[in-house]
Amino acid sequence: TDWADYDQLDEEFDEDSEAGGGRPVLAVVGRPNVGKSTLVNRLLGSRQAVVKDTPGVTRDRVSYDAVWSGRAFSVVDTGGWDPDADGMYASVTSQAEMAMSTADAILFVVDANVGVSGTDEAAARVLRRSKRPVIVVANKVDSQGAEAGTAELWSLGLGEPHPVSALHGRGSGDLLDEVLRVLPDTPRERFGGAAGPRRVALVGKPNVGKSSMLNRLVGEQRAVVDEVAGTTVDPVDSLVELDDEVWRFVDTAGLRKRVKTADGTEYYASLRTKAAIEAAEVAIVLIDGSNPLTEQDLRIISMVIEAGRALVIAYNKWDMVDDERRRSLEKEIDRDLVRVRWAERVNVSALTGRAVAKLAPALRGALESWDQRVSTGQINSWLSDIVAAHPPPVRGGKQPKIMFATQAHSRPPTLVLFSSGFLEAGYRRFLERKFREAFGFTGSPVRVVVRVRE
Ligand code: GDP
Ligand code: GDP
Protein backbone atom coordinates (compact mmCIF):
# COMPACT_ATOMS: atom_id res chain seq x y z
CA THR A 1 0.00 0.00 0.00
CA ASP A 2 0.83 3.62 -0.06
CA TRP A 3 1.96 3.48 3.56
CA ALA A 4 4.57 0.90 2.92
CA ASP A 5 5.98 2.99 0.12
CA TYR A 6 6.52 5.94 2.34
CA ASP A 7 7.97 3.92 5.16
CA GLN A 8 10.44 2.38 2.80
CA LEU A 9 11.38 5.75 1.41
CA ASP A 10 11.90 6.95 4.92
CA GLU A 11 14.32 4.16 5.59
CA GLU A 12 16.12 4.91 2.39
CA PHE A 13 16.62 8.48 3.36
CA ASP A 14 17.70 7.63 6.87
CA GLU A 15 21.02 6.71 5.37
CA ASP A 16 21.18 10.18 3.96
CA SER A 17 21.95 8.75 0.62
CA GLU A 18 21.77 10.89 -2.44
CA ALA A 19 19.77 9.60 -5.35
CA GLY A 20 21.97 7.03 -7.04
CA GLY A 21 23.16 5.53 -3.80
CA GLY A 22 26.26 7.53 -2.95
CA ARG A 23 28.30 4.32 -2.85
CA PRO A 24 30.60 3.01 -5.53
CA VAL A 25 28.98 0.36 -7.68
CA LEU A 26 30.40 -3.03 -8.58
CA ALA A 27 28.66 -4.76 -11.49
CA VAL A 28 28.82 -8.51 -12.00
CA VAL A 29 28.57 -9.71 -15.60
CA GLY A 30 28.94 -13.08 -17.31
CA ARG A 31 27.10 -15.84 -19.13
CA PRO A 32 24.25 -17.69 -17.42
CA ASN A 33 25.26 -20.44 -15.02
CA VAL A 34 28.82 -19.28 -14.53
CA GLY A 35 27.89 -18.58 -10.91
CA LYS A 36 27.21 -14.83 -10.79
CA SER A 37 24.40 -15.08 -8.27
CA THR A 38 26.32 -17.53 -6.14
CA LEU A 39 29.24 -15.10 -6.18
CA VAL A 40 27.06 -12.12 -5.34
CA ASN A 41 25.59 -14.04 -2.41
CA ARG A 42 29.12 -14.86 -1.32
CA LEU A 43 30.17 -11.21 -1.54
CA LEU A 44 27.15 -10.15 0.46
CA GLY A 45 28.02 -12.58 3.23
CA SER A 46 24.54 -14.15 3.18
CA ARG A 47 22.89 -11.14 4.76
CA GLN A 48 20.65 -10.70 1.77
CA ALA A 49 20.19 -13.41 -0.77
CA VAL A 50 19.83 -13.09 -4.50
CA VAL A 51 16.56 -14.69 -5.42
CA LYS A 52 16.27 -16.69 -8.60
CA ASP A 53 13.16 -17.94 -10.33
CA THR A 54 14.89 -20.40 -12.55
CA PRO A 55 18.50 -21.51 -12.19
CA GLY A 56 20.65 -19.34 -14.40
CA VAL A 57 18.12 -16.53 -14.66
CA THR A 58 18.06 -13.66 -12.21
CA ARG A 59 14.77 -11.92 -12.63
CA ASP A 60 15.99 -8.39 -12.74
CA ARG A 61 18.98 -6.26 -12.28
CA VAL A 62 19.11 -5.68 -8.58
CA SER A 63 21.44 -3.72 -6.39
CA TYR A 64 22.62 -4.94 -3.01
CA ASP A 65 24.62 -3.21 -0.31
CA ALA A 66 27.87 -4.83 0.70
CA VAL A 67 30.54 -4.01 3.27
CA TRP A 68 34.09 -5.32 3.30
CA SER A 69 36.90 -4.14 5.56
CA GLY A 70 34.71 -1.27 6.66
CA ARG A 71 34.04 -0.03 3.14
CA ALA A 72 30.54 0.10 1.76
CA PHE A 73 29.66 -0.45 -1.88
CA SER A 74 26.77 -1.69 -3.98
CA VAL A 75 26.81 -4.92 -5.93
CA VAL A 76 24.70 -5.13 -9.04
CA ASP A 77 23.92 -8.52 -10.52
CA THR A 78 23.18 -7.62 -14.09
CA GLY A 79 21.30 -10.91 -14.56
CA GLY A 80 18.50 -10.78 -17.05
CA TRP A 81 20.02 -13.00 -19.63
CA ASP A 82 18.19 -13.98 -22.69
CA PRO A 83 18.23 -17.74 -22.39
CA ASP A 84 17.73 -18.08 -26.13
CA ALA A 85 21.05 -18.94 -27.73
CA ASP A 86 20.56 -16.60 -30.71
CA GLY A 87 19.91 -13.65 -28.46
CA MET A 88 22.85 -14.49 -26.26
CA TYR A 89 25.44 -12.60 -28.21
CA ALA A 90 23.45 -9.36 -28.24
CA SER A 91 22.58 -9.81 -24.58
CA VAL A 92 26.11 -10.30 -23.46
CA THR A 93 27.33 -7.20 -25.23
CA SER A 94 24.38 -5.14 -23.98
CA GLN A 95 24.96 -6.34 -20.48
CA ALA A 96 28.61 -5.39 -20.66
CA GLU A 97 27.72 -1.98 -22.08
CA MET A 98 25.18 -1.45 -19.36
CA ALA A 99 27.75 -2.30 -16.70
CA MET A 100 30.19 0.13 -18.29
CA SER A 101 27.69 2.93 -18.20
CA THR A 102 26.58 2.44 -14.62
CA ALA A 103 29.32 0.79 -12.60
CA ASP A 104 32.57 1.95 -11.05
CA ALA A 105 34.20 -1.46 -11.43
CA ILE A 106 33.19 -4.69 -13.13
CA LEU A 107 33.58 -8.33 -12.18
CA PHE A 108 33.59 -10.45 -15.30
CA VAL A 109 32.77 -14.01 -14.27
CA VAL A 110 33.84 -17.00 -16.38
CA ASP A 111 33.30 -20.68 -15.60
CA ALA A 112 36.86 -22.00 -15.37
CA ASN A 113 35.69 -25.56 -15.93
CA VAL A 114 34.16 -24.64 -19.28
CA GLY A 115 36.86 -22.24 -20.39
CA VAL A 116 36.53 -19.29 -22.77
CA SER A 117 33.47 -19.41 -25.03
CA GLY A 118 32.66 -17.22 -28.02
CA THR A 119 30.18 -15.29 -25.90
CA ASP A 120 32.86 -14.65 -23.28
CA GLU A 121 35.12 -13.32 -26.02
CA ALA A 122 32.39 -11.00 -27.29
CA ALA A 123 31.81 -9.62 -23.81
CA ALA A 124 35.56 -9.22 -23.30
CA ARG A 125 35.84 -7.20 -26.52
CA VAL A 126 33.29 -4.74 -25.16
CA LEU A 127 34.84 -4.66 -21.71
CA ARG A 128 38.32 -3.98 -23.06
CA ARG A 129 37.02 -0.59 -24.26
CA SER A 130 35.79 0.18 -20.78
CA LYS A 131 37.36 2.97 -18.81
CA ARG A 132 36.33 1.12 -15.64
CA PRO A 133 38.53 -1.45 -13.94
CA VAL A 134 37.57 -4.99 -14.90
CA ILE A 135 38.46 -8.03 -12.78
CA VAL A 136 38.30 -11.44 -14.45
CA VAL A 137 36.90 -14.02 -12.05
CA ALA A 138 37.65 -17.66 -12.82
CA ASN A 139 34.81 -19.30 -10.96
CA LYS A 140 34.21 -22.92 -9.95
CA VAL A 141 37.84 -23.42 -9.06
CA ASP A 142 36.86 -25.64 -6.14
CA SER A 143 40.35 -27.01 -5.47
CA GLN A 144 43.99 -26.10 -5.83
CA GLY A 145 44.30 -28.64 -8.62
CA ALA A 146 41.70 -26.84 -10.71
CA GLU A 147 43.72 -23.61 -10.70
CA ALA A 148 45.85 -24.71 -13.65
CA GLY A 149 42.83 -24.34 -15.92
CA THR A 150 42.57 -20.61 -15.25
CA ALA A 151 45.67 -19.71 -17.30
CA GLU A 152 43.58 -19.85 -20.45
CA LEU A 153 41.56 -16.86 -19.24
CA TRP A 154 44.55 -14.57 -19.79
CA SER A 155 43.53 -14.73 -23.45
CA LEU A 156 40.56 -12.48 -22.71
CA GLY A 157 43.00 -9.60 -22.61
CA LEU A 158 41.67 -8.29 -19.32
CA GLY A 159 44.59 -9.11 -17.05
CA GLU A 160 45.12 -11.74 -14.43
CA PRO A 161 42.27 -14.16 -13.77
CA HIS A 162 41.30 -14.51 -10.11
CA PRO A 163 40.48 -18.10 -9.22
CA VAL A 164 37.58 -18.51 -6.80
CA SER A 165 34.93 -20.95 -5.77
CA ALA A 166 31.81 -18.93 -5.22
CA LEU A 167 30.10 -22.02 -3.92
CA HIS A 168 32.67 -22.91 -1.26
CA GLY A 169 34.15 -19.48 -0.64
CA ARG A 170 37.62 -20.39 -1.80
CA GLY A 171 39.54 -17.26 -2.83
CA SER A 172 36.64 -14.91 -2.14
CA GLY A 173 38.54 -12.93 0.52
CA ASP A 174 41.37 -12.23 -1.91
CA LEU A 175 38.86 -11.28 -4.56
CA LEU A 176 37.18 -8.79 -2.22
CA ASP A 177 40.56 -7.27 -1.39
CA GLU A 178 41.18 -6.83 -5.09
CA VAL A 179 37.72 -5.29 -5.52
CA LEU A 180 38.48 -2.71 -2.83
CA ARG A 181 41.81 -1.98 -4.44
CA VAL A 182 40.25 -1.05 -7.79
CA LEU A 183 37.00 0.47 -6.58
CA PRO A 184 37.10 4.26 -6.16
CA ASP A 185 36.19 5.61 -2.71
CA THR A 186 33.32 7.60 -4.10
CA PRO A 187 31.11 6.74 -7.02
CA ARG A 188 32.15 8.32 -10.26
CA GLU A 189 30.29 11.42 -11.06
CA ARG A 190 26.96 10.25 -12.31
CA PHE A 191 25.36 13.63 -12.35
CA GLY A 192 27.81 15.62 -14.39
CA GLY A 193 28.61 18.01 -11.59
CA ALA A 194 29.03 21.69 -12.25
CA ALA A 195 31.36 21.23 -15.19
CA GLY A 196 30.20 18.37 -17.37
CA PRO A 197 27.25 18.27 -19.73
CA ARG A 198 23.96 17.26 -18.19
CA ARG A 199 22.93 13.66 -18.64
CA VAL A 200 19.82 12.82 -20.62
CA ALA A 201 18.15 9.45 -21.19
CA LEU A 202 16.05 9.12 -24.34
CA VAL A 203 13.68 6.29 -23.51
CA GLY A 204 10.40 4.81 -24.70
CA LYS A 205 8.97 1.52 -25.80
CA PRO A 206 10.14 0.00 -29.10
CA ASN A 207 9.20 1.87 -32.31
CA VAL A 208 8.20 5.16 -30.75
CA GLY A 209 11.02 6.80 -32.68
CA LYS A 210 13.99 6.93 -30.30
CA SER A 211 16.61 6.27 -32.99
CA SER A 212 14.89 8.66 -35.38
CA MET A 213 14.85 11.31 -32.67
CA LEU A 214 18.49 10.83 -31.79
CA ASN A 215 19.39 11.14 -35.48
CA ARG A 216 17.24 14.23 -35.77
CA LEU A 217 18.87 15.85 -32.76
CA VAL A 218 22.34 14.98 -33.97
CA GLY A 219 21.36 16.48 -37.34
CA GLU A 220 20.03 19.66 -35.75
CA GLN A 221 23.17 20.48 -33.88
CA ARG A 222 25.39 23.10 -35.40
CA ALA A 223 28.66 21.34 -34.78
CA VAL A 224 29.57 17.74 -34.24
CA VAL A 225 30.65 17.46 -30.67
CA ASP A 226 33.48 15.05 -30.07
CA GLU A 227 34.77 16.28 -26.83
CA VAL A 228 34.02 18.78 -24.16
CA ALA A 229 36.93 20.25 -22.27
CA GLY A 230 37.52 18.43 -19.03
CA THR A 231 35.16 15.55 -19.64
CA THR A 232 35.69 12.02 -20.74
CA VAL A 233 32.90 10.55 -22.75
CA ASP A 234 31.81 7.00 -22.33
CA PRO A 235 31.80 5.15 -25.62
CA VAL A 236 28.15 4.37 -24.95
CA ASP A 237 27.08 8.02 -24.70
CA SER A 238 26.55 10.72 -27.33
CA LEU A 239 27.32 14.38 -26.89
CA VAL A 240 24.77 16.55 -28.66
CA GLU A 241 24.69 20.32 -28.88
CA LEU A 242 21.19 21.74 -28.65
CA ASP A 243 20.16 25.30 -28.07
CA ASP A 244 23.76 26.41 -27.45
CA GLU A 245 24.30 23.79 -24.79
CA VAL A 246 26.02 20.42 -24.95
CA TRP A 247 24.04 17.52 -23.53
CA ARG A 248 25.18 14.01 -22.84
CA PHE A 249 22.66 11.49 -24.13
CA VAL A 250 23.47 8.40 -22.09
CA ASP A 251 23.54 4.83 -23.23
CA THR A 252 22.79 5.58 -26.85
CA ALA A 253 25.18 2.95 -28.22
CA GLY A 254 22.31 0.49 -28.58
CA LEU A 255 20.18 3.08 -30.36
CA ARG A 256 22.88 3.99 -32.78
CA LYS A 257 23.73 0.42 -33.62
CA ARG A 258 20.10 -0.59 -33.74
CA VAL A 259 20.78 -3.85 -31.97
CA LYS A 260 17.68 -5.91 -32.42
CA THR A 261 17.23 -9.57 -31.71
CA ALA A 262 14.23 -11.43 -32.98
CA ASP A 263 13.26 -12.59 -29.58
CA GLY A 264 13.42 -11.79 -25.91
CA THR A 265 14.14 -8.19 -26.76
CA GLU A 266 11.39 -6.70 -24.73
CA TYR A 267 12.76 -7.92 -21.44
CA TYR A 268 16.18 -6.80 -22.38
CA ALA A 269 14.98 -3.45 -23.65
CA SER A 270 13.41 -2.83 -20.28
CA LEU A 271 16.73 -3.47 -18.53
CA ARG A 272 18.47 -1.05 -20.85
CA THR A 273 15.77 1.52 -20.20
CA LYS A 274 16.31 1.20 -16.48
CA ALA A 275 20.05 1.48 -16.82
CA ALA A 276 19.78 4.57 -19.01
CA ILE A 277 17.38 6.23 -16.58
CA GLU A 278 19.68 5.47 -13.68
CA ALA A 279 22.65 6.91 -15.50
CA ALA A 280 20.77 10.09 -16.38
CA GLU A 281 19.62 13.17 -14.53
CA VAL A 282 16.64 13.78 -16.75
CA ALA A 283 14.69 11.45 -19.02
CA ILE A 284 12.79 12.22 -22.17
CA VAL A 285 10.04 9.62 -22.34
CA LEU A 286 9.07 9.34 -25.98
CA ILE A 287 5.49 8.29 -26.68
CA ASP A 288 3.94 7.45 -30.02
CA GLY A 289 1.27 10.16 -30.22
CA SER A 290 -0.40 8.56 -33.21
CA ASN A 291 -1.46 5.52 -31.21
CA PRO A 292 -3.21 5.06 -27.88
CA LEU A 293 -1.09 5.28 -24.77
CA THR A 294 -0.12 1.83 -23.48
CA GLU A 295 0.73 0.21 -20.17
CA GLN A 296 4.32 0.04 -21.31
CA ASP A 297 4.48 3.83 -21.77
CA LEU A 298 3.12 4.30 -18.26
CA ARG A 299 5.58 1.77 -16.87
CA ILE A 300 8.48 3.69 -18.32
CA ILE A 301 7.16 6.94 -16.86
CA SER A 302 6.87 5.17 -13.48
CA MET A 303 10.47 3.99 -13.77
CA VAL A 304 11.60 7.59 -14.14
CA ILE A 305 9.59 8.72 -11.12
CA GLU A 306 10.76 5.81 -9.00
CA ALA A 307 14.35 6.48 -9.94
CA GLY A 308 13.78 10.08 -8.88
CA ARG A 309 14.88 11.62 -12.15
CA ALA A 310 13.52 14.72 -13.86
CA LEU A 311 11.05 14.05 -16.65
CA VAL A 312 10.00 15.47 -20.00
CA ILE A 313 7.20 13.73 -21.89
CA ALA A 314 7.48 13.98 -25.67
CA TYR A 315 4.61 12.95 -27.89
CA ASN A 316 6.33 11.91 -31.10
CA LYS A 317 4.89 11.29 -34.59
CA TRP A 318 2.81 14.43 -34.16
CA ASP A 319 2.77 14.70 -37.96
CA MET A 320 0.36 11.76 -37.92
CA VAL A 321 -1.97 13.14 -35.26
CA ASP A 322 -5.27 14.33 -36.71
CA ASP A 323 -8.14 16.16 -35.01
CA GLU A 324 -9.89 13.03 -33.95
CA ARG A 325 -6.78 11.53 -32.43
CA ARG A 326 -6.09 14.83 -30.73
CA ARG A 327 -9.43 14.70 -28.96
CA SER A 328 -8.95 11.14 -27.73
CA LEU A 329 -5.44 12.04 -26.71
CA GLU A 330 -6.66 14.81 -24.45
CA LYS A 331 -8.92 12.34 -22.69
CA GLU A 332 -6.05 9.90 -22.32
CA ILE A 333 -3.86 12.55 -20.80
CA ASP A 334 -6.52 13.51 -18.28
CA ARG A 335 -7.12 9.91 -17.39
CA ASP A 336 -3.69 8.31 -17.47
CA LEU A 337 -1.21 11.08 -16.88
CA VAL A 338 -2.75 12.79 -13.84
CA ARG A 339 0.07 11.45 -11.72
CA VAL A 340 2.54 13.38 -13.83
CA ARG A 341 0.59 16.54 -14.36
CA TRP A 342 3.75 18.29 -13.25
CA ALA A 343 5.78 17.06 -16.23
CA GLU A 344 6.12 19.26 -19.27
CA ARG A 345 4.70 17.75 -22.46
CA VAL A 346 5.97 18.59 -25.92
CA ASN A 347 4.44 17.45 -29.18
CA VAL A 348 7.19 16.62 -31.62
CA SER A 349 7.97 14.86 -34.84
CA ALA A 350 11.32 13.23 -35.39
CA LEU A 351 10.31 12.86 -39.03
CA THR A 352 9.60 16.52 -39.82
CA GLY A 353 11.56 18.15 -37.03
CA ARG A 354 8.43 19.74 -35.62
CA ALA A 355 8.99 21.35 -32.22
CA VAL A 356 12.19 19.43 -31.48
CA ALA A 357 13.64 22.83 -30.59
CA LYS A 358 11.34 22.78 -27.57
CA LEU A 359 13.12 19.80 -26.07
CA ALA A 360 16.18 21.66 -24.78
CA PRO A 361 14.18 24.35 -22.91
CA ALA A 362 11.97 21.63 -21.43
CA LEU A 363 15.03 19.67 -20.28
CA ARG A 364 16.52 22.79 -18.78
CA GLY A 365 13.32 23.62 -16.90
CA ALA A 366 12.98 20.09 -15.55
CA LEU A 367 16.58 20.07 -14.34
CA GLU A 368 16.17 23.44 -12.70
CA SER A 369 13.29 22.01 -10.65
CA TRP A 370 15.25 18.88 -9.93
CA ASP A 371 18.16 20.95 -8.58
CA GLN A 372 16.00 23.45 -6.74
CA ARG A 373 16.38 23.96 -3.01
CA VAL A 374 13.85 25.85 -0.95
CA SER A 375 15.14 27.29 2.30
CA THR A 376 13.89 25.86 5.58
CA GLY A 377 12.61 29.30 6.56
CA GLN A 378 10.45 29.59 3.44
CA ILE A 379 9.16 26.06 3.86
CA ASN A 380 8.13 26.55 7.45
CA SER A 381 6.31 29.78 6.86
CA TRP A 382 4.48 28.07 3.96
CA LEU A 383 3.79 25.06 6.18
CA SER A 384 2.31 27.03 9.07
CA ASP A 385 -0.09 28.78 6.68
CA ILE A 386 -1.17 25.52 5.07
CA VAL A 387 -1.58 23.63 8.33
CA ALA A 388 -3.57 26.48 9.88
CA ALA A 389 -5.96 26.48 6.92
CA HIS A 390 -6.07 22.71 6.42
CA PRO A 391 -5.00 20.80 9.53
CA PRO A 392 -4.11 17.11 9.13
CA PRO A 393 -7.10 14.80 9.52
CA VAL A 394 -7.70 13.26 12.93
CA ARG A 395 -6.65 9.63 13.25
CA GLY A 396 -7.63 7.42 16.16
CA GLY A 397 -9.02 10.37 18.06
CA LYS A 398 -5.78 12.30 17.82
CA GLN A 399 -4.78 15.09 15.56
CA PRO A 400 -1.22 14.75 14.36
CA LYS A 401 0.79 17.91 14.73
CA ILE A 402 3.34 18.80 12.09
CA MET A 403 6.17 20.45 13.93
CA PHE A 404 8.67 21.27 11.28
CA ALA A 405 9.65 20.64 7.68
CA THR A 406 12.79 20.89 5.64
CA GLN A 407 13.92 20.06 2.14
CA ALA A 408 16.47 17.40 3.00
CA HIS A 409 17.61 16.82 -0.57
CA SER A 410 17.41 18.01 -4.07
CA ARG A 411 17.84 15.72 -7.08
CA PRO A 412 14.99 14.92 -6.58
CA PRO A 413 13.57 17.46 -4.15
CA THR A 414 12.65 15.69 -0.94
CA LEU A 415 10.44 17.31 1.63
CA VAL A 416 10.79 15.84 5.11
CA LEU A 417 7.99 16.53 7.58
CA PHE A 418 8.43 15.98 11.31
CA SER A 419 5.10 15.09 12.81
CA SER A 420 3.67 13.82 16.09
CA GLY A 421 1.72 11.11 14.25
CA PHE A 422 1.28 9.45 10.90
CA LEU A 423 -0.10 11.54 8.11
CA GLU A 424 -2.54 9.89 5.77
CA ALA A 425 -1.57 9.33 2.16
CA GLY A 426 -4.25 11.69 0.93
CA TYR A 427 -2.98 14.47 3.15
CA ARG A 428 0.61 13.89 2.08
CA ARG A 429 -0.47 14.16 -1.54
CA PHE A 430 -2.31 17.34 -0.68
CA LEU A 431 0.85 18.77 0.89
CA GLU A 432 2.90 17.76 -2.13
CA ARG A 433 0.45 19.53 -4.42
CA LYS A 434 0.53 22.67 -2.30
CA PHE A 435 4.30 22.52 -2.06
CA ARG A 436 4.47 22.39 -5.85
CA GLU A 437 1.97 25.23 -6.18
CA ALA A 438 4.03 27.39 -3.88
CA PHE A 439 7.51 26.63 -5.18
CA GLY A 440 7.22 25.26 -8.71
CA PHE A 441 9.10 22.02 -9.46
CA THR A 442 7.74 21.61 -12.97
CA GLY A 443 9.33 18.55 -14.49
CA SER A 444 10.67 16.99 -11.32
CA PRO A 445 9.24 14.36 -9.02
CA VAL A 446 8.94 15.55 -5.43
CA ARG A 447 9.20 13.17 -2.51
CA VAL A 448 7.38 13.69 0.73
CA VAL A 449 8.78 11.80 3.70
CA VAL A 450 7.20 11.79 7.14
CA ARG A 451 9.25 11.30 10.30
CA VAL A 452 7.13 10.58 13.32
CA ARG A 453 8.49 12.04 16.55
CA GLU A 454 6.61 11.14 19.69
P1 GDP B 1 24.40 -17.38 -12.73
O2 GDP B 1 23.40 -17.79 -13.71
O3 GDP B 1 25.66 -16.90 -13.36
O4 GDP B 1 23.88 -16.41 -11.70
O5 GDP B 1 24.83 -18.72 -11.95
P6 GDP B 1 24.37 -19.35 -10.56
O7 GDP B 1 24.93 -18.55 -9.43
O8 GDP B 1 22.92 -19.56 -10.60
O9 GDP B 1 25.14 -20.74 -10.61
C10 GDP B 1 24.88 -21.70 -11.60
C11 GDP B 1 25.23 -23.07 -11.07
O12 GDP B 1 26.63 -23.17 -10.82
C13 GDP B 1 24.53 -23.41 -9.75
O14 GDP B 1 24.15 -24.75 -9.79
C15 GDP B 1 25.64 -23.19 -8.72
O16 GDP B 1 25.46 -23.98 -7.56
C17 GDP B 1 26.88 -23.58 -9.48
N18 GDP B 1 28.07 -22.92 -8.96
C19 GDP B 1 28.21 -21.59 -8.73
N20 GDP B 1 29.45 -21.33 -8.25
C21 GDP B 1 30.10 -22.51 -8.19
C22 GDP B 1 31.43 -22.91 -7.75
O23 GDP B 1 32.25 -22.11 -7.34
N24 GDP B 1 31.74 -24.22 -7.86
C25 GDP B 1 30.85 -25.15 -8.32
N26 GDP B 1 31.25 -26.40 -8.37
N27 GDP B 1 29.61 -24.82 -8.72
C28 GDP B 1 29.23 -23.52 -8.64
P1 GDP C 1 12.75 3.19 -31.88
O2 GDP C 1 12.50 1.71 -31.89
O3 GDP C 1 12.06 3.83 -30.72
O4 GDP C 1 14.20 3.56 -31.98
O5 GDP C 1 11.99 3.78 -33.18
P6 GDP C 1 12.55 4.14 -34.62
O7 GDP C 1 13.32 5.42 -34.58
O8 GDP C 1 13.20 2.97 -35.20
O9 GDP C 1 11.17 4.46 -35.38
C10 GDP C 1 10.20 3.47 -35.57
C11 GDP C 1 9.39 3.82 -36.82
O12 GDP C 1 8.67 5.02 -36.61
C13 GDP C 1 10.26 4.04 -38.05
O14 GDP C 1 9.60 3.50 -39.15
C15 GDP C 1 10.35 5.58 -38.14
O16 GDP C 1 10.54 6.01 -39.46
C17 GDP C 1 8.99 5.98 -37.62
N18 GDP C 1 9.00 7.31 -37.02
C19 GDP C 1 9.85 7.78 -36.08
N20 GDP C 1 9.55 9.05 -35.75
C21 GDP C 1 8.49 9.42 -36.51
C22 GDP C 1 7.71 10.61 -36.63
O23 GDP C 1 7.94 11.62 -35.97
N24 GDP C 1 6.67 10.59 -37.51
C25 GDP C 1 6.39 9.50 -38.25
N26 GDP C 1 5.36 9.57 -39.09
N27 GDP C 1 7.10 8.35 -38.17
C28 GDP C 1 8.14 8.30 -37.30
| Ligand 1, atom 9, residue with closest C-alpha | 35
The stretch 246-271 carries a mean pLDDT of: 66
Question: 177 pLDDT band (50/70/90 cuts)?
Answer: very high
Highest mean pLDDT among 61-75, 123-137, 150-164, 394-408: 150-164
pLDDT of residue 5: 40
User: Which residue, 409, 313, 408, 406, is CA-closest to 365?
Assistant: 313
Q: Is 205 in the pocket of ligand 2 (CB under 6 A)?
A: no
Burial per residue of 123-158, b for 16 or more beta-carbon CB atoms within 10 angstroms, e otherwise: bbebbeebebbbbbbbbbbbeeebeebbeebeebeb
Residues 6+ apart with CB under 8 A from 283: 200, 201, 202, 203, 276, 277, 304, 309, 310, 311, 312
Q: Is 210 in the pocket of ligand 2 (CB under 6 A)?
A: yes
The stretch 199-214 carries a mean pLDDT of: 93
85 pLDDT exceeds 60? no
8 pLDDT exceeds 70? no
Please provide the average confidence, as pLDDT, over all residues in the chain: 81
| Ligand 1, atom 24, residue with closest C-alpha | 140
Q: Over pLDDT 70: what percentage of the chain?
A: 77
Question: 11 pLDDT band (50/70/90 cuts)?
Answer: very low
ipTM over 0.95: no
Question: 418 pLDDT band (50/70/90 cuts)?
Answer: confident
Model pTM above 0.80: no
Number of CB atoms found within 10 A of residue 37's CB: 23
Read off the pLDDT of residues 368-410 as tens digits, 9 standing for 90 and up: 999 998 888 889 899 999 999 999 998 888 888 888 888 888 8
The answer to whether 312 touches 344, Cβ cutoff 8 Å, is: yes
Ligand that comes closest to the CA of residue 113: 1
Span from the CA of 206 to the centroid of ligand 2 (angstroms): 9
3-class secondary structure, 105: strand
Report the chain's terminal Cα–Cα distance, integer Å: 24
pLDDT of residue 267: 55
pLDDT of residue 317: 97
pLDDT of residue 163: 96
3-class secondary structure, 316: strand
Of 364 and 17, more confident: 364
User: Which residue, 216, 225, 177, 164, is CA-closest to 197?
Assistant: 225
